[in-house]
Structure 1
Amino acid sequence: MKKIAMLLGLSVSAFALSVSAAAADSVDAPSVTAGPEMTICQDANFSGSCQWHQIVTGIKWRDLGYDLGPGFQDSISSIRNNSNLKVTFYEHSNFAGRALVFPAYTQHSDLSQTGWANDVLSSLRVD
């Protein structure tokens, strides 16, 4: 690895620092990541398996099981929209069924407390 880093003009310590920073962005709390973001967790109170995503206007995920991975199809229980964008989740794939809107800078730590059941969201759009 040292030889590869030297060929690329990087020191091994600089390489290790950049890997550590990248790993921290994907693991730590969302405040570590720069820019507008959304946190999606399988369990209430932002626990269990979570994903943090940079979001921009125009994102359309027709099937959360495909776009986020099979563990996130109909299995989301808490959501944080830490952006100035509106995120709309839908009950079914392809933006069908009831819609749950998250205005800018809103969150729900337990979707069952919103009149929705946990584990029913299947697609989303960002406006």
Structure 2
Amino acid sequence: MTTFSATAKRRAALFLGAATLATSAGLGAAAPASAAASDCNGYQLCLFTDANYGGTLIRWNYLPAGGTLPSDHDSVSSIVNNSGSNICFYEHPGYGGLKFTVGPWQKWATVPDWINDKISSLTPC
């Protein structure tokens, strides 16, 4: 029988919830665990649960207006911003706490340790 750690369960719940949110808003969908940075095309914004663009991927086909990630958040470890806008990521829901900015067309294979697995909300900035 396979057992999963609490972190693995939380990450799965986050990205299943985000996929549901994204799909219902027409934004995109979760990709399989074999996703890579090259799967983030055009003007998409992509978040990955693991460093080096690994793990589960959630992508937006156009920039989100901003908002709080689903309640089981704090799982983002790498980011691809294929847009012409800065995206600000925040430690807490509602744009609070630490702020990490990813510039236009930037890719972060590993976000800094101080924000890794702590991102709860985001907005163009």
TM-score band by shorter chain is 0.5 to 0.7
Please identify which structure carries the higher helix content: 1
Cα deviation, 1:44-73, whole Å, max 9, x if unaligned, reads 0111111111233x7111x2125xxx3xx0
User: Which of 45, 49, 66 matches 1:60?
Assistant: 66
Structure 2: which 5+ runs fail to align?
1-28
Deviation at 1:120, TM superposition (A): 0.4
Q: Give the aligned partner of residue 125 of structure 1.
A: 123
* Root mean square deviation of aligned Cα: 2.1
Deviation at 1:117, TM superposition (A): 4.1
Structure 1: which 5+ runs fail to align?
1-24
Once residues 30 and 118 of structure 1 are traced to their aligned partners in structure 2, the CA distance between those partners, rounded to angstroms, is 20
Q: Give the aligned partner of residue 4 of structure 2.
A: none
**1:107 to 1:116, Cα distance in 2 relative to 1, 3 A:** farther
Q: Give the aligned partner of residue 107 of structure 1.
A: 107
Native 8 Å contact 2:98 2:115 kept in 1:
no
Q: Give the aligned partner of residue 81 of structure 2.
A: 81
Native 8 Å contact 1:55 1:126 kept in 2:
no
Aligned length: 91
Q: Could you state the TM-score of these two structures normalised by the residue count of structure 2?
A: 0.64
Q: Give the aligned partner of residue 40 of structure 1.
A: 47
Cα deviation, 1:10-50, whole Å, max 9, x if unaligned, reads xxxxxxxxxxxxxxx9647123xxx4111100000111111
Secondary structure at the residue paired with 1:45?
A: helix
Once residues 45 and 121 of structure 1 are traced to their aligned partners in structure 2, the CA distance between those partners, rounded to angstroms, is 17
- Equivalent position amino acid for 1:124 in 2: L
Deviation at 1:115, TM superposition (A): 4.6
Identity among equivalent pairs (%) = 27
Once residues 119 and 26 of structure 1 are traced to their aligned partners in structure 2, the CA distance between those partners, rounded to angstroms, is 18
Q: Could you state the TM-score of these two structures normalised by the residue count of structure 1?
A: 0.63
Native 8 Å contact 2:91 2:115 kept in 1:
no
Once residues 125 and 117 of structure 1 are traced to their aligned partners in structure 2, the CA distance between those partners, rounded to angstroms, is 16
